[in-house]
Chain A
Amino acid sequence: MIDKIKNFILKNKLTLSIVVGVILLSIFSLNPASNLPETPLPPIPTPNVSPTPYVGTRTGQQAVQQSIADREVGLSVNKTLNQYPFITKLPLITQNYTAIFDFKKQVIRVRMQQGFTSQFIESDVKKRLSDIGVPESIQIEYLKFNDPTP
Chain B
Amino acid sequence: MDNKKIKGCVIKVMIFFTILLLIIGAIIFSFTLVINIINSGAYVTDRAPGAGLDMPMEGYCDLDPNTIIPLEFPNIYPPTNIAHHAYILVNDLLPGLWCYFNHQPYYDGDAPSDPPGFPDGGNPDYWDESLFGLFLDNDGTYNIFWCTIMVIEAWNNTPGVSLPTDLIYTPTMHAYFVNTGRFTTIQQALQNLSLVHPGDAAIIARDGSSRGLNGDHASIVWSVTPDAITTIDSNAGLKGFTYAISGGEARWGSLTIVGFGRR
CB-contacts of A54-94 with B (<8 A): 54, 56, 58-60, 62-81, 83-85, 87-91
What is the minimal beta-carbon distance from A84 to any residue of chain B, in angstroms? 7
Chain A: residues with Cβ within 8 Å of the partner, total of 75
Q: In this assembly, does B137 line the interface, its C-beta being within 8 Å of a C-beta of chain A?
A: yes
Beyond A47-B136, A62-B169, A150-B246, is A80–B143 a contact (Cβ under 8 Å)? Answer: no
- Residues in A whose Cβ lies below 8 Å from that of B25: 26-27, 30-31
What is the minimal beta-carbon distance from A32 to any residue of chain B, in angstroms? 5
Q: How far, in whole Å, are A104 and B245 apart by their CA atoms in the complex?
A: 9
Beyond A8-B3, A31-B32, is A100–B255 a contact (Cβ under 8 Å)? Answer: no
What is the minimal beta-carbon distance from B158 to any residue of chain A, in angstroms? 19
CB-contacts of B161-197 with A (<8 A): 165-166, 168-170, 172
Q: Is the CB of B32 within 8 A of A46?
A: no
Q: In this assembly, does A115 line the interface, its C-beta being within 8 Å of a C-beta of chain B?
A: no
- Residues in B whose Cβ lies below 8 Å from that of A85: 46
- Residues in A whose Cβ lies below 8 Å from that of B143: 51-52, 54, 56, 59
Q: In this assembly, does B135 line the interface, its C-beta being within 8 Å of a C-beta of chain A?
A: yes
Q: In this assembly, does A119 line the interface, its C-beta being within 8 Å of a C-beta of chain B?
A: no
Beyond A32-B33, A100-B227, is A76–B100 a contact (Cβ under 8 Å)? Answer: no
Q: Is the CB of B1 within 8 A of A1?
A: yes
Q: How far, in whole Å, are A79 and B148 apart by their CA atoms in the complex?
A: 23
What is the minimal beta-carbon distance from B208 to any residue of chain A, in angstroms? 9
CB-contacts of B195-230 with A (<8 A): 204, 206-207, 209, 211, 216-217, 225-228, 230
Q: In this assembly, does B244 line the interface, its C-beta being within 8 Å of a C-beta of chain A?
A: yes
- Residues in B whose Cβ lies below 8 Å from that of A109: 227, 244, 246
Q: In this assembly, does A33 line the interface, its C-beta being within 8 Å of a C-beta of chain B?
A: yes
The 3 A-B pairs with the shortest beta carbon distances in the complex, nearest first, are A80-B253, A67-B140, A27-B25
Q: List residues of B whose CB falls within 8 A of some A CB.
A: 1, 3, 6-7, 9-10, 14, 18, 21-22, 24-25, 28-29, 32-33, 35-36, 39-41, 46, 48, 51, 53-55, 58-62, 98, 100, 102, 124-125, 128, 130-144, 146-148, 165-166, 168-170, 172, 204, 206-207, 209, 211, 216-217, 225-228, 230, 235-238, 242, 244-247, 249, 251-255
